[in-house]
Amino acid sequence: MGYLRRGHGGVRLGFLDAALVLLLVACGEGSAQRDDRLAGGLVFTSSDAGVGVGGAAGAGGASPDPGQGGSAGSVVCQPQTCAEAAVECGSQSDGCGGILFCGTCPGGSVCSADGRRCEEPSVVCARGSLSCGLLLDACGAGVGCGSCGTDEVCSGRSGLCGACEPATCEEGFCGSLPDGCGGLLECGACPEGQACDALTHVCAACVPTSCAAAGAECGSRSDGCGGLLDCGPCAGGLSCRQNECLPPAAPEECVNQNANCGTIASSCTGQAINCGSCPPGESCVDNYCRACVPKSCEELGTTCGSVSNGCGQNLDCGSCELPETCGGAGTANVCGVCVPRQCQGSCGPESDGCGGTLDCGSCDDGQACYQGSCCTPAASCAAADPDAQCGSVPDGCGGNIECGGCAEGLTCAGAGTANVCEVCQPRTCDSLGFVCGQQSDGCGAVLDCGTCLQAGDVCNDGSCCSPETCDTLGRSCGSAPDACGATLDCGSCGSGEVCLADGSCCLPDTCGASCGQQKYDGCGGWLDCPVCPPR
């Protein structure tokens, strides 16, 4: 009873079809450091987070060390290294409750699930006999295995292109519904005494219900007699899943790193991943929710200003009355009268630390105030730098002295020596390493280093470069570098479509008549389909 639906850049399953074939691969390019402990295959242990991530000793937990007070005969769990586990990329358990971060793969490759090896997506797709659809890496991001040609769709069961098989009314449907191949089915009305369910498009006896009677907290569901009930949205950041308000499902990478709150760095791309927030009464410590008792301003000894309550929130402890200011006497978050500072230097203006400005005096004639002290600048170019013949040199007090120009035929620093008149030695295209374009020769002339001879090449910083195009990159949307210093605009997708990371357009699926499950939308997201009506 399934059918397939084709979008611009890929294929989605229809409302009664099975889930897409998703080949799980481990992480790809990008930085994989959560902090300094995670670099280079280091172990992030349960003691670092303050929580265990495994089971018993030797299988995710560690027995006490006999030399550290453990009982005689106990065995200490020896965590594996990346090398011992024969893993070259991605993250996995160290066998003792910790997490190994074994590095990321170079540009464009992915860390395969079968062996944790860095491979090109095309190789992984071919090994799984996939010619279309998506791979999912260990962080839940989609990697495209290609799209199908005109009049073909990608089978979610096999990952192969084929003809679209539309649904038919003979499969037991009623009413008007999409056939999954761009057409519309008109399956007629139900027999007397029955109603066509608005979500499943299946005939059933009319049994009226309400959101409250059905226990539906949110979303849409059938009213039992051919109509739809709107049970409203969820509050407080909760997600509506099967008509129940629940915390959003944690991203897969958060589960991999045993994090249930705060922000972590993806071991696939290095990008920030939000693992959610903690319930009231708990605070996020090392990306794990823990019970926390907030402190009051009195307990913290604070009389004014904003301070942390120790549980991730700020307290407003009030303000001060003039002439007192917050921290005025030098103690943070305590009211006090600000005591102005005296001059720290011997000249010039200075702040008194209380909002005023001090006049710290002036210097004698011929002197300059430099960094709070009186300074006598060099009187001449020779005094500032005996070797200087031209240009400007520092006067020793924050200023510069002009040493003049050079005689005809000479250039200041012409041969590379600063502030010295020399015969200018013009640079050449060869000395610059330029094979194309124009560049100054350093002596007032412009070098013409030629043009690129290969058809289609462009000159990029003196070198000939063959730029990529949207076609050669296989992109139909979004932007991408052309490998020669410019950025390509590969256009946008059609109405309702989204642009995937690989530059292909994808039309997200809908729940359609699916119910009672969370459904993959075919474009990297998940749909919360409504609860199925009673049969």
Residue boundaries of the structural domains of the chain: 297-335
Which residues are CB-neighbours of 331 under 8 A, at least 6 positions away?
A: none
Q: Which of 509, 513, 502 is nearest to 526 (CA)?
A: 509
- Judge contact between 226 and 196, C-beta under 8 A: yes
Give the pLDDT score at 11. 31
**How far from the centroid of its chain's Cα atoms is residue 337's Cα?**
47
| Total Cβ atoms within 10 A of residue 355 | 9
Give the pLDDT score at 49. 33
More confident residue, 201 or 72: 201
Give the pLDDT score at 532. 64
Which residues on adjacent β-strands are paired with residue 153? 162
More confident residue, 135 or 27: 135
Task: Kindly state the DSSP code that residue 35 receives in the 8-state scheme.
Answer: S
Give the pLDDT score at 531. 63
Q: Which residue has the tokens 């009213």?
A: 223
Q: Which helix (H) or strand (E) holds 460?
A: strand 458-460
Give the pLDDT score at 3. 30
User: Greatest CA separation found in the chain?
Assistant: 111
Give the pLDDT score at 362. 92
Task: Kindly state the DSSP code that residue 36 receives in the 8-state scheme.
Answer: G
Q: How far apart are CA 202 and CA 53, in angstroms?
A: 46
Q: Which of 139, 15, 5, 166 is nearest to 517 (CA)?
A: 15
Torsion, Cα of 53, 58, 62, 66 (10° steps): 180
Q: How far apart are CA 146 and CA 138, in angstroms?
A: 20
Give the pLDDT score at 427. 83
Q: How far apart are CA 40 and CA 47, in angstroms?
A: 19
Torsion, Cα of 97, 98, 101, 102 (10° steps): -70
Q: How far apart are CA 497 and CA 26, in angstroms?
A: 27
| Total Cβ atoms within 10 A of residue 416 | 10
3-state secondary structure labels for all residues of 12-24: EECCCCCCCCCEE
Verify cis geometry, omega within 30 degrees of 0, for the bond prior to 280: no
Under the banding of pLDDT at 50, 70 and 90, the label for residue 107 is: confident
Q: Which of 364, 2, 367, 415 is nearest to 180 (CA)?
A: 2
At 369-427, the pLDDT tens digits run 998 899 999 989 999 999 999 999 999 998 999 999 998 888 888 877 889 998 888 88
Give the pLDDT score at 4. 30
Which residues on adjacent β-strands are paired with residue 204? 195
Task: Kindly state the DSSP code that residue 249 receives in the 8-state scheme.
Answer: P
Under the banding of pLDDT at 50, 70 and 90, the label for residue 196 is: very high
Q: How far is CA 165 from CA 4, 6, 152, 506, 522, in A?
A: 7, 11, 10, 20, 18
**Mean pLDDT score of the chain, rounded to an integer?**
76
Q: Which of 202, 197, 238 is nearest to 220 (CA)?
A: 197
Has residue 58 got a pLDDT over 70?
Answer: no
At 302-354, the pLDDT tens digits run 778 778 877 667 788 888 888 888 877 777 778 888 888 899 899 999 988 88
At 242-301, the pLDDT tens digits run 888 887 777 888 888 888 888 888 777 677 888 887 776 677 888 888 877 778 888 887
3-state secondary structure labels for all residues of 146-209: CCCCCCCEECCCCCCEECCCCCCHHHCCCCEEECCCCCEEECCCCCCCEEECCCCCCEEECCCC
Question: What are the two backbone dihedrals, phi and then psi, of residue 477, each rounded to the nearest 5 degrees?
Answer: -160, 165
User: Position 371: which residue type?
Assistant: Q
Task: Kindly state the DSSP code that residue 122 receives in the 8-state scheme.
Answer: H
**Which string of DSSP letters, residue by residue, matches 36-90?**
GGGGGG-EE-HHHHTS--S-SBTTTB-PPPGGGTPPTT-----PPPTTTTT--SS
Structure tokens at 168: 């038919």
Percent helix, percent strand, percent coil in the chain, to nearest 5: 10, 25, 65
What does the angle CA 383 – CA 387 – CA 392 come to, to the nearest 5 degrees?
A: 70
Coil, helix or strand at residue 370: strand
- The percentage of the chain sitting over the pLDDT mark of 90, rounded to a whole number, equals 11
Has residue 171 got a pLDDT over 70?
Answer: yes
Give the pLDDT score at 6. 30
Q: How far apart are CA 243 and CA 220, in angstroms?
A: 7
| Total Cβ atoms within 10 A of residue 510 | 16
According to DSSP, the β-strands at 288-291 and 282-285 are antiparallel
Under the banding of pLDDT at 50, 70 and 90, the label for residue 475 is: confident
Q: How far apart are CA 279 and CA 100, in angstroms?
A: 29
Q: Which of 101, 325, 165 is nearest to 157 (CA)?
A: 165
